[in-house]
Amino acid sequence: MRIEMWSDIICPICGMTQQRLRKAVADFEHGDEVEIIHRSFQVHPGIPPEGITQTQLSLNAGMTIAQMNNVLRLVEIAADEEGFGGYHAIDRTLGPTDLTHELLAYATDQGKHHEAWTGMFNAHLEAAWTAPPSPAPCVRPGTRATPLPR
């Protein structure tokens, strides 16, 4: 059986779903017959190179601060239940992921599909709780970060 999962590494729900799916397959009697394939999908393809805060991204999408807090606090609770305690879904800055998806495609070509996707999801989820929220956005190599207004 082949399961194809379309996801972006900055999507915490995608990362947690990947973790749950891998656990379910490992516990499945015929898990050795299941292949999980990730497909790249940019959740926010228009993120500027200098990054954007989750708050600004939510406001741009027409959400109120209260709506954003209601939705994303549930994500933070779910992340805590999955073992990523202290994940900050609200207090984070997002950067473009196009180059990351190119790296993931390269890793897949090199036979490191599972390792690359799992590592990227874990890095995103763990970085959000091992480091305090920062106004410094993710930036592309060769560019300079400019803090965004809060």
Residue 96 lies in a domain: yes
- In a 10 Å sphere around its CB, with 0-12 CB exposed, 13-18 middle and 19+ buried, how is residue 19 labelled? middle
Q: What is the pLDDT of residue 149?
A: 40
Residue 54 lies in a domain: yes
Mean pLDDT in residue range 66-74: 92
For residue 38, what are the β-bridge partners? 5
Helix (H) or strand (E) holding 111: none
Residue 18 lies in a domain: yes
CA distance linking residue 125 with residue 11, whole number of Å = 9
Provide CB contacts within 8 A for 98, sequence distance 6+.
Answer: 42, 45
pLDDT band at 142 (very low <50, low <70, confident <90, very high): very low
Digit-coded pLDDT (tens) for 3-49 = 999 999 888 888 889 889 989 999 999 999 999 999 999 998 989 98
pTM: 0.73
Q: Which residue has the tokens 């599909």?
A: 113
Running DSSP on this structure, what letter comes out for residue 82? T
Digit-coded pLDDT (tens) for 73-113 = 999 899 888 887 778 888 788 889 999 999 999 999 999 99
- Lowest mean pLDDT, pick from 60-64, 99-103, 124-128, 142-146: 142-146
Residue 144 lies in a domain: no
- Full residue range of the structural domain in which residue 115 is found: 2-130
Q: Which residue has the tokens 């091992």?
A: 130
Residue 106 lies in a domain: yes
CA distance linking residue 117 with residue 110, whole number of Å = 13
Residue 139 lies in a domain: no
Residue 124 lies in a domain: yes
Q: What is the pLDDT of residue 145?
A: 37
The number of folded domains in the chain is 1
User: What is the domain-level CATH number for residue 72?
Assistant: 3.40.30.10
CA distance linking residue 54 with residue 36, whole number of Å = 29
Q: What is the pLDDT of residue 139?
A: 37
